[in-house]
Structure 1
């Protein structure tokens, strides 16, 4: 009567909202989608979709098939994965979302290693400017750095990460070495726009004493590489994560300012939908991820070489 391929076909139409969209997703012609839908309706002797030139609407029976069919497909997939795991194999898909800069610099090799270990797992990595603003349910794991606002996701700490104020040596020569956060207002500044944070408000703490300044950046970008590049050219001071500037600091392309003042930390964390019952393919990636940043993260090792 109806099989998993039929259910996947209907869900493709549902997801993409049109026969043309489904055809593009399935890599077939729109006429092929129309013909297959007609054949499915004829086989079931049930009208599943009302379609006009302008819109597409699932009938009550079509909606029922999609709703229940989605559950059946997930159960079918889980059953196959469980059977394969009985033989020591990981299968299925792993969907990861991560920030652009961190993903490019640190995740590429880890995912390549994961793929070599578990070649039957299909891995999808999406690098995003603001991972937490994406549709979270679409991903098995989200990498996040910085402030974490209200979230129902489970937090797994991967590595510590500090924030530093940095400037190029040429800028320090021009403006001098600051002795307090207020002195930074005499410098040109650069802001990185990320995670919907107030990135022009910089908060400092030293032995319980707190100071906050509001910078007026002359340059800003949503790309960390761009911001760091401008800073290296002496165009302004920046506040950046240690993971991003550790290499530039070790090469003296940037200098850390006010090291005796602490900024809010921004640990690298992985976010998942559940702590217990995590799919083995996700757990295996989490294990590999933590191994790469334990006992020291790469940026901590670089800091050690500077001492």
Structure 2
């Protein structure tokens, strides 16, 4: 078990910011902690941490090892939790944060169902497109695009995430369907910017790198500018232009035909959809059950099927050019 103990020391040292703090949490002296870390680095043959009198800093190798260690230790903690907490009733306040669009379409409805199934749980859902500090603000979990930048957090992948270009059928009938990225310069594009501007540089990632291996940047024009994704969404539904949104934000409209995806061969992934939470160790039953319910909802939803197979005609569209 020495290897697992050393892994746990390494993870706790990164989270706490020092070996001495990690040692206090795990019940041994700073000297023992330093010796164990040195033993771990010697066994691996790489330096994991750059140490100074004031702080610890992860090396590149340390960052890779940290992610793997978190997963291994979390699986062990989960196995123990199933035995010790499996029959514990969910109760108390569950605090969840999400981006506005995902919250309204996915997280909020699930929270309502979860509350009905667990009458002793109170659910608070905070919707914000700003990056929230889960630990400082006391949230149990968050739904985000991309992984956590904070080493104190653990991420569970919910699914891939494409950014799609779309418009209403009426707009496309009036203005024509773009057949190439170059066609976008002749279209009204709804811009998401913090300052007023009539043009923006849109970066497009290829959906299939084997067909179109390189990203492309196109300068597009538009007279509607907002810093709010929901407002951009509403303008697009009103037929006022082309908009770029994460597929999870527009999947209902794409399914029922209110919006139509264009140039699907340029709908590359912009970052996986992740469920982020402070720790998997001794999670309260309410948090653990909600995390499992949210993961199951994304795994089995029709939205996930759409994201897994974005555009089977991408190669055909490329050949027609």
TM-score above 0.5: yes
Secondary structure of the 1:123 match is strand
Contact 1:249 1:255 in 2 (8 A): yes
| 2:195 paired with 1:190 | no
Mark the CA change 1:258 to 1:141 in structure 2 (over 3 Å): closer, same or farther.
same
Contact 1:201 1:214 in 2 (8 A): yes
TM-score of the aligned structures, taking structure 2 as reference length:
0.58
Shift of 1:225: 3.1
| 2:254 paired with 1:252 | no
Q: How does 1:146-161 map to 2 (within 5 A)?
A: 147-148=146-147, 150-152=149-151, 153-161=153-161
Contact 2:178 2:262 in 1 (8 A): yes
Q: Which runs of 5+ in 2 are unaligned?
A: 1-83, 195-199, 313-321
Mark the CA change 1:87 to 1:262 in structure 2 (over 3 Å): closer, same or farther.
closer
* Aligned counterpart, 1:122: 122
| 2:226 paired with 1:224 | no
* Aligned counterpart, 1:269: 274
Shift of 1:272: 0.7
Alignment size in residue pairs: 217
Secondary structure of the 1:260 match is helix
Contact 1:191 1:219 in 2 (8 A): yes
| 2:142 paired with 1:142 | yes
| 2:208 paired with 1:203 | no
Shift of 1:200: 4.7
| 2:95 paired with 1:95 | yes
CA deviations over 1:24-70 (Å, ceiling 9, x no partner): xxxxxxxxxxxxxxxxxxxxxxxxxxxxxxxxxxxxxxxxxxxxxxx
Shift of 1:121: 2.6
Shift of 1:97: 0.7
* Aligned counterpart, 1:234: 239
CA deviations over 1:243-280 (Å, ceiling 9, x no partner): 22222223332221111223333432111112333333
* Aligned counterpart, 2:44: none
Structure 1 CA distance, aligned partners of 2:142 and 2:156?
Answer: 10
Structure 1 CA distance, aligned partners of 2:303 and 2:177?
Answer: 28
Larger Rg, first or second structure (1 or 2): 1
Contact 1:163 1:266 in 2 (8 A): no
Structure 2 CA distance, aligned partners of 1:247 and 1:303?
Answer: 16
Shift of 1:301: 5.9
Contact 1:191 1:200 in 2 (8 A): no
Secondary structure of the 1:249 match is helix
| 2:300 paired with 1:292 | no
Shift of 1:287: 0.7
CA deviations over 1:161-192 (Å, ceiling 9, x no partner): 32210122233233333232232122111133
Mark the CA change 1:90 to 1:245 in structure 2 (over 3 Å): closer, same or farther.
closer
CA deviations over 1:119-156 (Å, ceiling 9, x no partner): 223322111132x24565321101113x5573332211
* Aligned counterpart, 1:57: none
Q: Which runs of 5+ in 1 are unaligned?
A: 1-83
Secondary structure of the 1:209 match is coil
Mark the CA change 1:149 to 1:219 in structure 2 (over 3 Å): closer, same or farther.
farther
Shift of 1:232: 2.4
